[in-house]
Amino acid sequence: MRYLLHILVIVNLLYSHQSRAEDVLTIGIAGTNGVAREMVYFLASAFEKQTPNVKIRFIVREGESYKKDLQNMLEKDDGYDVVFWMAGERFNKYIRLDLVTPITDIWQSHQLSDNFSENLNNAITFNKQIYAIPFSRYQWGMLYNKRLFERLSLVPPNNWQQFIDVLSVLKSENVIPIYVGSKYNWQISAWFEFLNLRLNGYDFHQSFIKGKSPVDSPQIRLVFKYWQVLIEAGYFIVQRQYNLREGLPYLYRELGGVMLVGSYFTAFVPPNKLNDMGFFSFPQIDPQIENVEIAPVDIVFIAERAKNKILAKKFIVFLSSKYAQEKFNSGSHFLPANKLSVIPEHEIFQSVQKSLNNVRKQTLFFDREAEDTFAQQNMTIWRDFIESPTIDATIVDKAIKSMEEARLNLLSRSCDSNCNMNKRGR
Q: How confident is the model at residue 396 (pLDDT cuts 50, 70, 90)?
A: very high
Does 162 have pLDDT greater than 50?
A: yes
Cα separation, 365 vs 335, in Å, equals: 16
Between the alpha carbon of residue 170 and those of residues 177, 180, 337, the distances in Å are: 5, 15, 36
Cα separation, 196 vs 361, in Å, equals: 14
297-302 and 133-137: which strand pairing? antiparallel
Task: Give one DSSP letter per residue of 201-241, joined into a string.
Answer: HHHHHHHHHTT-S-SSSHHHHHHHHHHHHHHHTT-EEEETT
- % of the chain surpassing 90 pLDDT: 70
Q: How confident is the model at residue 262 (pLDDT cuts 50, 70, 90)?
A: very high
- Summarised one tens digit per residue, pLDDT across range 357-367 is 888 889 999 99
Specify the pLDDT at position 418. 56
Specify the pLDDT at position 332. 78
Does 419 have pLDDT greater than 70?
A: no
For the chain, the domains span 16-137+297-357, 140-294+362-415
Cα separation, 257 vs 149, in Å, equals: 8
Q: How confident is the model at residue 118 (pLDDT cuts 50, 70, 90)?
A: confident
- Summarised one tens digit per residue, pLDDT across range 196-223 is 999 999 999 999 999 999 999 999 999 9
Specify the pLDDT at position 343. 86
Between the alpha carbon of residue 200 and those of residues 89, 237, 362, the distances in Å are: 22, 26, 14
Mean pLDDT of 390-405: 92
Specify the pLDDT at position 183. 84
Cα separation, 276 vs 194, in Å, equals: 25
Domain 140-294+362-415 architecture: 3-Layer(aba) Sandwich (3.40)
| 34-43, 69-78, 90-99, 122-131: least confident range | 34-43
CA-based R_g, the chain, Å: 24
> Average model confidence (pLDDT) for the chain?
89
Alpha helices in 76-178 (DSSP H): 89-96, 104-109, 118-123, 146-151, 160-172
Specify the pLDDT at position 417. 57
- Are residues 359 and 366 in contact, defined by beta-carbon separation less than 8 angstroms? no
- % of the chain surpassing 70 pLDDT: 92
Closest-CA residue to 143 (of 49, 274, 234): 274
Specify the pLDDT at position 345. 81
> Taking the model in full, what pTM does it have?
0.87
Specify the pLDDT at position 107. 96
Domain 16-137+297-357 architecture: 3-Layer(aba) Sandwich (3.40)
- Summarised one tens digit per residue, pLDDT across range 182-194 is 888 898 999 999 9
DSSP 242: S
Does 141 have pLDDT greater than 50?
A: yes
Specify the pLDDT at position 3. 40
Does 263 have pLDDT greater than 60?
A: yes
Specify the pLDDT at position 32. 67
For residues 142-166, one letter each, b for 16 or more C-beta atoms within 10 angstroms of the residue's C-beta and e for the rest, the string is bbbbeebbeeeebebbeebeebbeb
Q: How confident is the model at residue 11 (pLDDT cuts 50, 70, 90)?
A: very low
Does 310 have pLDDT greater than 60?
A: yes
Torsions phi, psi for 270 (to 5 deg)? -55, 140
Higher pLDDT, 426 or 242: 242
